[in-house]
Chains A and B, each alone.
Chain A
């Protein structure tokens, strides 16, 4: 299984500290072929793939499963988004972007390494390897 590192959307640190409520906001994983690292906002269908062939613009939802601190370290965990099953071509896309839907903020992304296109019957599964992020 390919593994990708958490890459912060640079500007997200400010809303993370001033606006986003990590534990109660709605979150999604969206697929896009453009890096979101430098983006400050996220618009479904513009900043990710458009709806079609098994993909819904905006991405798939993730439920907050943990948002608390222990010993001075805050740990944030989400459930994995449901996998995408292509009924036609989906993509190309390269990045899985973590989006705070409540504020429309792209927070982080994971890079597949190259663009891929799902053909009919193909699936794409994104899995959080443990927590989403920690802060201390």
Chain B
């Protein structure tokens, strides 16, 4: 926001009480009454022509802030000069109380200037004891320069605009009170064309050059108000996904997982001869095709199983001569068809007592059997 001129007003009094001045007296550069707005900055320059030092704060309007120290110049007509400012709040003030004079013989002259778009911080000020407002070097682009001057003289005379200051209507203001013993002059001027470097306001014209008077002046650089911007950025969350390809569990590889639910799919596997299927305790389901237990030459085939119930089915088998059915201790059931005990080989006749002539079971003929029966009957009869 660029600095703009809102309005100005000057006046005088010689009262020993504060004098309320309404802002409705302000006039802008079109000589119209302006409306003050929030953040407008109001400068009040007060000159009290007296015979004493009014001291610090005496010429600062209530609720205003002194812009620099009070300026006191000791002469026959003593200059007490003070510039103060106030930033308007949400509801701008409608009046300002111009401080009282110390005596009705001591004139007070004041100037009120209002600006808009000024940073609330006054960039700088400077004080001198002469009516020639000092040079100043603003540091911010767009700065405006305001010079105030006050004088205490025996015969009041208004200031005239410094030669290098703005000539826009109401940019320069001057007032004097001539009805007091110590007359007060006040003047205010504005420079709006500063671009760089130092600027030195020209000497305030007018007034009087009598050597009984005294002067003060203040130069103020107004730094343009720049609205701050509060940037924000709302960062949305990101996502990461970890995915993998289908995995095959090869022979000899392990799949170890923590507790949870896993699904492992694969192709149907054939459990082949000499391959092992090892599993930890748990529940597993293995589906397979029916298997045939074949005789392969003379190789002994084994089915090893832990305790449990197994079912082994197959084709009918003939137990032929020369083949053994061998089983370890335990209980086995072999179910087969009825068998006929047939003579396969002639056994030698019984004779003598030699153990080598005893017949083996399955090697007796029918006569031998009859002889045995007769012997058994004889034994039973004797019993």
Q: Could you list which residues of chain A lie within 8 angstroms of chain B, going by C-beta atoms?
A: 1-8, 13, 16, 96, 108, 110, 112, 116, 118-136
Interface-side segment among B32-40, B228-236, B327-335: B228-236
- Tell me if B298 counts as interface (CB < 8 A to partner A): no
- Residues of B close to A132: CB separation below 8 A: 237-238
Instruction: Give the distance to chain B from A73, nearest Cβ to Cβ, in Å.
Output: 9
Stretch in B94-102, B239-247, B286-294, B343-351 touching the partner: B239-247
The chain A residue with its CB closest to the CB of B229 is: A122
A residues less than 8 Å from B242 (CB atoms): 135-136
Q: Are A96 and B235 in contact (CB under 8 A)?
A: yes
Interfacial residues, chain B to chain A (CB-CB below 8 A):
226, 228-242
Given A110-B236, A112-B231, A129-B236, 4 additional A-B pairs, CB 8 A = A4-B236, A127-B232, A128-B235, A130-B237
* Least Cβ–Cβ distance between B117 and chain A, in angstroms: 15
- CB B8 to nearest CB in A, in angstroms, measures 29
Q: Which residues of chain B have C-beta atoms less than 8 A from A116's C-beta?
A: 231
Taking the closest CB of chain B, its distance from the CB of A96, in whole angstroms, is 6
> Can you report 18 residue pairs joining A to B where beta carbons are below 8 Å apart?
A4-B236, A6-B235, A6-B236, A96-B233, A118-B231, A122-B231, A123-B228, A125-B231, A125-B233, A127-B232, A130-B236, A130-B237, A131-B237, A132-B237, A134-B240, A135-B241, A135-B242, A136-B240
Q: How far is the CA of A110 from the CA of B231 in the complex (A)?
A: 14
B236 contacts across to A, CB distance below 8 A: 3-6, 110, 129-130
Q: Quick check: B237 and A16 within 8 Å, CB to CB?
A: no
| CA of A134 to CA of B239, assembled, Å | 5
Residues of B within 8 A of A4 (CB): 233-236
A12 to B235, CA, bound (A): 18
Query: Contact at B240–A13, with CB atoms within 8 Å?
Result: yes
CB proximity of B184 to chain A, nearest CB, Å: 40
Task: Indicate if the CB atoms of B239 and A135 lie closer than 8 Å.
Answer: yes
Question: Please, which residues of chain A bring their CB within 8 A of the CB of B238?
Answer: 6-8, 108, 132-134
Q: Given the complex of chains A and B, what is the CA–CA distance between A1 and B235 in angstroms?
A: 10
A-side contacts of B228, CB under 8 Å: 119-123
Query: In the assembly, what is the distance between CA of A115 and CA of B179, in Å?
Result: 64
Closest A-chain residue to B230, C-beta based? Answer: A123
Q: Which residue of chain B is the closest to A78 with respect to CB atoms? A: B235
| Contact yes or no, A122 B230, CB < 8 A | yes
Give CA–CA (A122, B232) in the complex, Å: 11
B-chain residues with CB within 8 Å of residue A108 when the two chains form the complex? 238
A121 touches B240 (CB 8 A): no
Known contacts A119-B228, A121-B228, A136-B242; A126 and B233 CB within 8 A of each other: yes
Contact of B234 among A3, A13, A120 (CB under 8 A): A3
- Give the distance in Å from the alpha carbon of A133 to the alpha carbon of B230 in the complex: 26
Chain A residue at minimum C-beta to C-beta distance from B240: A135
